[in-house]
Chain A
Amino acid sequence: MNRDFKVVGKEVKKIDALALATGEVKFTADITLPDMLHVAFLYSPYPHAEIEEIDTEEALNTPGVELVLTYKDVPQTLHTTAGQGYPEPSPYDTRILDKRVRFVGDRVAIVAARTREIAQEAAKKIKVKYKPLPYNLDPEKAQESEPVPPQDAYHLLPTIYEPRKNIAAGIKLKFGDVDVAFEKSDIVFEHRFEVQYASHSAIEPHAAVAFYDERGRINIISTTQVPFHARRIVSRVLGIPLKNIRVIKPRIGGGFGGKQEVFLEQVVALVTMITKKPSKVVLSRREVFTSSRTRHPMITWYKAGVKKETGEITALKLKALMNAGAYGPHALTVMANAGSKVLPLFNKIKNLLFEGYTVYTNLPVGGAYRGYGATQGYFGFNVMLDMIAEELGIDVLEFFKKWHIKKGETSPIFEELGEGKEGVAQVIRSCALSECIEKGAERIEWYKKRRKKLREGDKVRGVGAAILMQGSGIPKIDMGAAYIKMNEDGSFNLHVGATDIGTGSDTILAQIAAEEIGTSIDKMIVYSSDTDFTPFDVGAYASSTTYISGGAVLKCARKIKEEIIKVAAEMLNVPMDAVFIENGVAYTEDRTQHVSFEDIALYSMYSRNQHQIQAVASHIGLESPPPFMAQFAEVEVDIKTGRIEVLKFVSAVDCGQPINPVLVEGQVEGATVNGIGYALWEDYIFDEQGRLKNASFWDYKIPSIKDVPEVETIICKTYEPTGPMGAKSVAEIGINGPIPAIANAVYDAIGIRLKSSPFTPEKVLKAIKEQGLKL
């Protein structure tokens, strides 16, 4: 379906961009209030220990210090910091402060003082006597190790949770009989893959501010992707009524999943409740690395059975072992997504087994991170497909195109595997993956470069590809809502719970509303994410905002349009169905009479049947239509140094109808470059006690402008009938392909299979030594 859009699909400028570019915007850390206290933490130097004694006297006596809190002083409510829907599919295994510390970087105490510096210095004066406990840093040894979570940790959902064995989550899913099918297969592939820790590295560190308003309610301003979940979690953890909490999200300096965690809001709220003074916490970069959240490392074992003649994969087994770190936010769902967002892509495999476990270790805590398990799962998946195609002697792109899921098809996994419960059955209604593969191949010059092993001195070139899907929100769980009112000049206030963290959701939601109402984007005044003044929304995660919140905005716009037409019909003295709207004007069918939006608004407020023209709507996704993507890497490998250089990277994406093509490209480019950094060098380096050795941007390098190859994005437009204006999501998918595409390109260049990311020169040289170059 090709609609003739006026606002949607256009390169509308991001509505907050100029304010951001000119530095007008206040971020959380920019907020200072009179008498404000600054919060600092004392962190555990041990990977696992019991606090035997804690002496806060000297810290408390430091001039400027107003409050020191230890586990003895704070509510001991178990909770999860995962900002997910309720009941959260993550274990309740966390306390604000606990007698036991579980990783180097776990919190020991909270200090509030007149300045940040005083608070930080005072924290160092707290004397703690620890009793070190046995600890474990190896996920493969977790089940036999000292239990990490608290004795009384529990899960709200009836799911696999065995904290005494360090099992934070488990899933087993089976179709057909893989063992019988492997027996009957002509070729069996079996390989182990491993992906590593990573930091989201949003340039804005996590921060939160709390203060009492004049009614005695706790107000929290925070760098959150989930303001409504934050309100709910703070209420529970601190035992204060939800009605007494307001959470406000200002502009956010990037999230990528790292700010889907609620671990600062309760701290500042508590400090303010005790001291009756405003309080603020801003994490240092080091704290963001060690003590916020990370990408979950994962080991995957793929086993595939293939029929030689047809190339059919008759059986596939995926075993996943995910490292939760010391606490379990998203322990179940990230691991589940390694299966649910990956396996349906090859939907014709009849015998399937997916078995996954997430385990506790004494390391930093994993959480939501763009890609959310799919990134971990797609590495092995795409490398296996590359291996199979090679063994069959066919072009991997043809292999992809033959077997990938297509429009009108389904996968049983959609129904079986959801987020903490069963999933939702769905048929694919839009899919341009084959087109993505073809267009991407053209841009990377696949058929000119593949298998050529172009060599210049020690440097050899190759190209590789990966195919991907993600989802659009969590079906039948995620809900977003919108409210629109008309002002007397014919402009509109659009209030959404949806949380713009830099993605541009405020802009695209305004585009959807303006398009549907029949007005221009400059008539939309957007206000988002304030628990007092906007309707509910689950927040910015799971690639849900365009699809779910966009769906709510579309419904709401339809409703208010009805209301506008009703008043216009009254004014024009014609029936409602004889009125249509174009560019902010209501016309009679024959165009002989018209009234402008301004006339309509004024009439509705001051003339007859006075009322506020307004509408509210909610939306849940009944399905989660996947965006699709093909990604291509061209690399040059230095066989002497082991260094991989990515020369060019192409992403071709089907995200349905792009609401704003520039913002779509921006999402894909940002995800891709983050993915390239993750593929090549981003990693957490620990010493033998689990101390992070590279907790700074100097030692944990994220790509700079110099590191970025030629990056190209191709939008292969489709129309998703269940999406607002035909749209699907796009935020996460682009981070999933760089690891496998680069690995496959390295194989194309030098015949080495890389199975453990990041692909550092050391690992490449080691692989060359083990496997031998094939030039």
Chain B
Amino acid sequence: MKGIFKINGKELEISFEAHKVLLDVLRENGFTEVKEGCREGECGACVVLLDGKPVNSCQVLAASAMGHEITTVKGIGTLHNPHPIEEAFVEAGAVQCGFCTPGMVIATYALLKENKDPSDEDIKRALDGNLCRCTGYVKIKKAVKLAAKKVSENE
């Protein structure tokens, strides 16, 4: 089938098989910043924003996402114009292999949209669906706090 997807602010017409999940449609159309870590909704590497809410794109039927706003990490910031959250992850040393980082950045973005000054508990709740095997989360917690500071300073 064919459908219009709004990805990172741009409308794209994409042909896809009706049973496909959003993760596959995104990756097959060049949005490889959305990572596949488990395909079972547990690791969070494939998290994107769907109308501003974080979802595991491996658990969303692509057809159901047509017409909705989809945001990948590249819709948040870029190498040449990084978002303060991304800078915070770099500065805090929260990026080791970086495979989980796009998902972590999205989860942090969604958290900070709702809560400008998250507590430790808020951070744990918001990032619980994003697995990381490299960092032990110590620097990720630090990064989210630093990001909160940076984001509020930017406003």
Task: Give the complex CA separation of A340 and B76 in angstroms.
Answer: 49
Contacts of B100 in A (CB 8 A): 203, 253
Q: Which of A25, A503, A705 has most chain B Cβ within 10 Å?
A: A705
B139 touches A665 (CB 8 A): yes
B141 touches A705 (CB 8 A): yes
Chain A residue nearest to B73 in the complex (CB): A23
With known contacts A17-B95, A27-B99, A702-B133, A665–B73 Cβ distance under 8 A: no
Contacts of B5 in A (CB 8 A): none
**Given B43, B89, B127, which contacts A705 in the complex, CB threshold below 8 Å?**
B127
With known contacts A18-B79, A20-B98, A21-B90, A705–B124 Cβ distance under 8 A: yes
Task: Give the complex CA separation of A704 and B44 in angstroms.
Answer: 11
Tell yes or no: B78 within 8 A of A by CB: yes
Give A340-381 as 1s and 0s: 1 = Cβ < 8 Å from B's Cβ atoms.
Answer: 000000000000000000000000000000000000000000
Task: Give the complex CA separation of A285 and B37 in angstroms.
Answer: 7
Give A672-688 as 1s and 0s: 1 = Cβ < 8 Å from B's Cβ atoms.
Answer: 11100000000000000
Chain B residue nearest to A664 in the complex (CB): B93
Task: Give the complex CA separation of A673 and B96 in angstroms.
Answer: 14
A201 touches B133 (CB 8 A): yes
Give B51-76 as 1s and 0s: 1 = Cβ < 8 Å from A's Cβ atoms.
Answer: 00000000000000000000011100
Give A250-291 as 1s and 0s: 1 = Cβ < 8 Å from B's Cβ atoms.
Answer: 011110100000000000000000000000001011000000
Q: Output the least CB separation between A578 and chain B (Å).
A: 41
B136 touches A22 (CB 8 A): no
A14 touches B79 (CB 8 A): no
A204 touches B86 (CB 8 A): no
With known contacts A18-B79, A19-B79, A501–B97 Cβ distance under 8 A: yes
Give B82-112 as 1s and 0s: 1 = Cβ < 8 Å from A's Cβ atoms.
Answer: 1000110111010111111110010000000
B133 touches A666 (CB 8 A): no
With known contacts A29-B36, A663-B93, A706–B101 Cβ distance under 8 A: no
Give B32-43 as 1s and 0s: 1 = Cβ < 8 Å from A's Cβ atoms.
Answer: 111111111011
Contacts of A708 in B (CB 8 A): 136-138
How many residues on chain B are close to A (CB under 8 Å)? 54
With known contacts A203-B132, A705-B123, A666–B139 Cβ distance under 8 A: yes
Q: Output the least CB separation between A692 and chain B (Å).
A: 15
With known contacts A30-B32, A502-B134, A669-B135, A20–B101 Cβ distance under 8 A: yes
Interface set, chain A 462-503, CB cutoff 8 A to B: 501-503
Q: Output the least CB separation between B60 and chain A (Å).
A: 17
Tell yes or no: B3 within 8 A of A by CB: no
Contacts of B22 in A (CB 8 A): none
Task: Give the complex CA separation of A438 and B72 in angstroms.
Answer: 47
Q: Output the least CB separation between B10 and chain A (Å).
A: 16
Contacts of A698 in B (CB 8 A): 40, 42
Tell yes or no: B151 within 8 A of A by CB: no
Tell yes or no: A24 within 8 A of B by CB: yes
Tell yes or no: B77 within 8 A of A by CB: yes
Task: Give the complex CA separation of A23 and B135 in angstroms.
Answer: 18
B101 touches A204 (CB 8 A): no
B97 touches A252 (CB 8 A): yes
B73 touches A669 (CB 8 A): no
- B interface: dominant SS: loop
Chain A residue nearest to B72 in the complex (CB): A23
Contacts of A86 in B (CB 8 A): none
Contacts of B105 in A (CB 8 A): 21
Tell yes or no: A693 within 8 A of B by CB: no
A711 touches B37 (CB 8 A): no
Q: Output the least CB separation between B40 and chain A (Å).
A: 6
B86 touches A662 (CB 8 A): no
Task: Give the complex CA separation of A503 and B130 in angstroms.
Answer: 19
Q: Which of B35, B36, B133 has most chain A Cβ within 10 Å?
A: B133
Give B109-128 as 1s and 0s: 1 = Cβ < 8 Å from A's Cβ atoms.
Answer: 00000000000000111011
B39 touches A284 (CB 8 A): yes
With known contacts A666-B134, A666-B139, A21–B89 Cβ distance under 8 A: yes
**Given A501, A504, A705, which contacts B130 in the complex, CB threshold below 8 Å?**
A705
Q: Which of A13, A26, A27, A704 has most chain B Cβ within 10 Å?
A: A704
**Given A16, A30, A702, A711, which contacts B131 in the complex, CB threshold below 8 Å?**
A702
**Given A24, A30, A254, A665, which contacts B79 in the complex, CB threshold below 8 Å?**
A24
With known contacts A18-B86, A697-B131, A666–B33 Cβ distance under 8 A: no
Give A1-37 as 1s and 0s: 1 = Cβ < 8 Å from B's Cβ atoms.
Answer: 0000000000101101111111111110110100000
Q: Output the least CB separation between B85 and chain A (Å).
A: 8
Chain B residue nearest to A27 in the complex (CB): B99
Give B1-41 as 1s and 0s: 1 = Cβ < 8 Å from A's Cβ atoms.
Answer: 00000000000000000000000000110001111111110
Tell yes or no: B45 within 8 A of A by CB: yes
**Given A20, A24, A203, A674, which contacts B136 in the complex, CB threshold below 8 Å?**
A674
Task: Give the complex CA separation of A251 and B132 in angstroms.
Answer: 16
With known contacts A22-B74, A666-B135, A203–B37 Cβ distance under 8 A: yes
Contacts of A663 in B (CB 8 A): 93
B90 touches A17 (CB 8 A): yes
Tell yes or no: A205 within 8 A of B by CB: yes
Tell yes or no: B49 within 8 A of A by CB: no
- A interface: dominant SS: loop
Give A221-254 as 1s and 0s: 1 = Cβ < 8 Å from B's Cβ atoms.
Answer: 0000000000000000000000000000001111
Contacts of B148 in A (CB 8 A): none
Contacts of B28 in A (CB 8 A): 32
Q: Which of B93, B98, B138 has most chain A Cβ within 10 Å?
A: B98
Q: Output the least CB separation between B30 and chain A (Å).
A: 9
Contacts of B32 in A (CB 8 A): 26-27, 29-30
Q: Output the least CB separation between B109 and chain A (Å).
A: 12
Q: Which of A17, A503, A665 has most chain B Cβ within 10 Å?
A: A17
Q: Output the least CB separation between A292 and chain B (Å).
A: 14
Chain B residue nearest to A288 in the complex (CB): B38
B74 touches A23 (CB 8 A): yes
Task: Give the complex CA separation of A665 and B136 in angstroms.
Answer: 10
With known contacts A204-B37, A708-B138, A18–B128 Cβ distance under 8 A: no
A674 touches B98 (CB 8 A): no
Q: Output the least CB separation between B48 and chain A (Å).
A: 11
Contacts of B127 in A (CB 8 A): 704-705
Tell yes or no: A670 within 8 A of B by CB: yes
Contacts of A282 in B (CB 8 A): 36
With known contacts A501-B97, A705-B140, A708-B136, A21–B131 Cβ distance under 8 A: no
Q: Output the least CB separation between A462 and chain B (Å).
A: 22
Tell yes or no: A696 within 8 A of B by CB: yes
With known contacts A18-B79, A18-B90, A204-B37, A503–B137 Cβ distance under 8 A: no
Q: Output the least CB separation between B71 and chain A (Å).
A: 12
**Given A27, A201, A704, which contacts B35 in the complex, CB threshold below 8 Å?**
A27
Q: Output the least CB separation between B144 and chain A (Å).
A: 9
Contacts of B79 in A (CB 8 A): 18-19, 22, 24
Tell yes or no: A133 within 8 A of B by CB: no
Contacts of B136 in A (CB 8 A): 669-674, 703, 708, 711
Task: Give the complex CA separation of A45 and B79 in angstroms.
Answer: 46
Task: Give the complex CA separation of A665 and B123 in angstroms.
Answer: 21
B74 touches A673 (CB 8 A): no
Contacts of B139 in A (CB 8 A): 662, 665-666, 669
Tell yes or no: A202 within 8 A of B by CB: yes
Q: Output the least CB separation between B49 and chain A (Å).
A: 13
Q: Output the least CB separation between B50 and chain A (Å).
A: 17
Task: Give the complex CA separation of A662 and B89 in angstroms.
Answer: 12
**Given A11, A19, A254, A696, which contacts B97 in the complex, CB threshold below 8 Å?**
A254
In the complex, besides A17-B98, A698-B42, 5 extra interface pairs with C-beta distance below 8 angstroms are A14-B93, A20-B101, A253-B37, A704-B131, A705-B130
The 15 sampled A-B contact pairs (Cβ below 8 Å) are A17-B98, A18-B82, A21-B73, A25-B98, A27-B32, A203-B100, A253-B37, A254-B97, A254-B99, A662-B139, A669-B137, A672-B136, A697-B131, A704-B129, A704-B130
Residues of B within 8 A of A (CB): 27-28, 32-40, 42-43, 45, 72-74, 77-79, 82, 86-87, 89-91, 93, 95-102, 105, 123-125, 127-141
